[in-house]
Chains A and B, each alone.
Chain A
Amino acid sequence: MASRKDALLTYLSAVTQSRRHFTDFLFKVILAIVIMIVVSPFFLVLIQVASIGFGQIFGIGPGIGLEFFTTFPGVGLEGGIRNALVGTVELIALASSVGIPLSVFGAVYITEYTQPGWTRAIVEFASDVLAGIPSIVFGAFGFAFLVDFLHLGMGLVAGSLTLAFMMIPTVLRTTQEALRAVPMSLREASLALGATKWSTTWNVTLRAAFPGLITGVLLAIGRVMGETAPLIFTAGNSLSVPTELTGSGSWVASMPYTIWAYISDPREYLQVKAHGTALALMIMVLTVDVVANIISRKVTRRLV
Chain B
Amino acid sequence: MAGFEYHIEVRNLSTWFGKKAILKNISCYFEDNTITAIMGPSGCGKSTLLRTLNRLNDLVPSFRLEGQVLFGGENIYETGSSVYDLRKRIGMVFQKPNPFPMSIQDNITYGPKLHGVKDEDELSKIVEQSLRKAALWDEVKDELDKPAPNLSGGQQQRLCIARALSVNPPVLLADEPVSALDPISAAKIEDLLVDLKKEYTVILVTHNVQQAFRVSDQAAFLYLGELIEFDKTSRIVEAPKDERTEAFITGRIG
Contact = CB atoms under 8 A, between A and B. Distances in A.
A12 to B, nearest CB: 51
B57 to A, nearest CB: 11
Contact of A186 (B61, B98, B167): B98
Looking at chain A's contact residues, is the secondary structure mostly helix, strand, loop, or mixed? helix
A193 interface: yes
Chain B, interface size category, equals 20 to 34
Contacts of B98: 183, 185-186, 188-189
Contacts of A195: 84, 110-111, 114
A4 B247 CA distance: 67
Interface residues of A, number: 19
Contact of B61 (A115, A183, A190, A194): A115
B100 A193 contact: no
A204 interface: yes
Considering residues A185, A189, A192, which has the most beta carbons from chain B within 10 angstroms of its beta carbon?
A192
Interface in A177-211: 183, 185-186, 188-196, 199, 203-204, 207-208
Given A115-B61, A199-B114, A302-B149, A192 B54 contact: yes
Interface in B76-133: 84-88, 91-92, 94-96, 98, 100-102, 110-111, 114-115
B160 interface: yes
A191 B56 contact: yes
B167 A193 contact: yes
Contacts of A192: 54, 56, 87, 91-92, 164
B239 interface: no
Contacts of A193: 87-88, 91, 110-111, 114, 163-164, 166-167
B84 A194 contact: yes
A189 to B, nearest CB: 5
Nearest to B86: A194
Nearest to A299: B101
B1 interface: no
B59 interface: yes
A189 B56 CA distance: 10
Contacts, number: 65
Contact of B96 (A185, A190, A208, A302): A185
Given A194-B115, A195-B114, A199-B114, A189 B94 contact: yes
Interface string B150-183: 0000000000100110110000000000000000
A207 to B, nearest CB: 6
A240 B88 CA distance: 59
B227 to A, nearest CB: 24
Interface string A160-173: 00000000000000
Contact of B94 (A188, A194, A196): A188
Contact of A190 (B91, B110, B166): B110
A263 B159 CA distance: 62
B59 A191 contact: yes
Contacts of B86: 194
Considering residues A188, A191, A194, A199, which has the most beta carbons from chain B within 10 angstroms of its beta carbon?
A194
A191 B59 CA distance: 10
A47 B251 CA distance: 71
Given A188-B94, A192-B54, A195-B114, 19 more contacts: A183-B98, A185-B95, A186-B100, A188-B98, A189-B163, A191-B56, A192-B87, A192-B91, A192-B92, A192-B164, A194-B85, A194-B167, A195-B110, A195-B111, A196-B84, A204-B100, A207-B101, A208-B101, A302-B101
Interface of A: 115, 183, 185-186, 188-196, 199, 203-204, 207-208, 302
22 contacts: A185-B95, A186-B98, A186-B101, A188-B56, A188-B59, A188-B94, A188-B98, A189-B98, A189-B163, A191-B56, A192-B164, A193-B110, A193-B114, A193-B167, A194-B87, A194-B115, A195-B110, A195-B111, A207-B100, A207-B102, A208-B100, A208-B101
